[in-house]
Amino acid sequence: MTRVLSCIQPTGDVHLGNYLGALAPWVAGQHEHDAFHGIVDLHALTVAEEPGVIGARTVQLAAMLFAVGLDADVATVFVQSHVPEHSQLAWVMECNVSFGELSRMVQFKEKSAKREFVSGGLFTYPALQAADILLYDTDEVPVGDDQRQHVEITRDIALRFNHRFGATFVVPRAVTPRAGARVMDLQDPTAKMSKSADTGAGLIQMLDDAEMIRRKFKRAVTDSETDVRYDPETKPGVSNLLEILGAATGHPPADLVAGYTQYGPLKADAGEAVIELLTPIQARYRDLLADRGELTAMLRRGAERAGEVAAATLERAYTAIGFLRS
């Protein structure tokens, strides 16, 4: 079975766009692949946070991942810092990637240009990410265009190491993620729904209550026309509502057009469909946070399973290098 690795940082609240665009495909894919999902809290250190914030967000994110449907008995869900082999292999990765390669990473250039303090961790981020991927003998890494360069440098490191020390690492390949809904901001339907938006009025958080969801959909931006049709280019607002309604109800958005002649009912139905979709997720999320024992046990199982694979890979790498083994 193909092993697939997907990771997520605990850097903020999960919103509807994250869920429909990425997490829902993760849930579906866990039954088709040997799925590993990491909450990469070590990567979150590249953003300055107060003590305790990363840990609190990790708990909340883990609860949300299980609430949306990841099954601890099917997928391997783990916290990065719970598997120490990530940090250990990262140093090996740093010693097998050049300064020039790291300097050319687009994300480093973009992020460092916006910060006063640029940490060494931000610069060597791709080395830790390479360790994340190679530790698990990963076959496929689903990534968007913005992350493809990181998989390519991981491939280069793996090939370089294998050439120097002998066949050790599985060389992963970047793949296009399983198609999820492309959810846009309700106030600016030409922009993806994002927590970095100037206003939260167009953002549906996974924990928004029913009245807030209804209010946000009622105020969703459409256009000055009156006809309902699915055309993302010329009618982005209406198309976004159809996209969300379709994703929430399991119907292709274009198939929903015939049921509407006005924008008001479409907004209302989209809002109600999202409420119906999120209500059981919110209930499961709250149950998991109320019973931290269950959540901790699931993460422990994931870390144990991940640790078994990671330890074997690290030992293989250390042996290939020729470190003194006890």
Catalytic residues: 111, 192, 195
Structural contact between residues 311 and 90, judged by C-beta atoms closer than 8 angstroms: no
Between residues 136 and 198, the one the model is more confident about: 136
Give domain 3-180+292-321's CATH number out of 3.20.20.70, 3.30.390.50, 3.40.50.620, 1.25.40.10. Answer: 3.40.50.620
Average pLDDT, the chain: 94
pTM above 0.75, yes or no: yes
Give domain 200-286's CATH number out of 1.20.58.190, 1.10.600.10, 3.40.50.11810, 1.10.240.10. Answer: 1.10.240.10
Encode pLDDT of 173-219 as tens digits.
Answer: 999 887 677 899 999 999 999 887 667 899 999 999 999 999 999 99
Q: What is the pLDDT of residue 186?
A: 97
Q: What is the pLDDT of residue 121?
A: 79
In the numeric block, the tokens 């990181």 are attached to 150
Encode pLDDT of 85-130 as tens digits.
Answer: 999 999 999 999 999 899 888 877 777 777 777 778 788 999 999 9
110's CB contacts (< 8 A; 6+ apart) are: none
Encode pLDDT of 225-268 as tens digits.
Answer: 989 999 999 999 999 999 999 999 999 999 999 999 999 999 99
Structural contact between residues 220 and 239, judged by C-beta atoms closer than 8 angstroms: no
Q: What is the pLDDT of residue 198?
A: 66
Q: In the 3-class helix/strand/coil scheme, how is 198-264 assigned residue by residue?
A: CCHHHCCECCCCHHHHHHHHHCCCCCCCCCCCCCCCCCHHHHHHHHHHHHHHCCCHHHHHHHCCCHH
How far apart CA 110 and CA 98 sit, in angstroms, is 19
Tokens representing residue 79 in the block: 């916290």
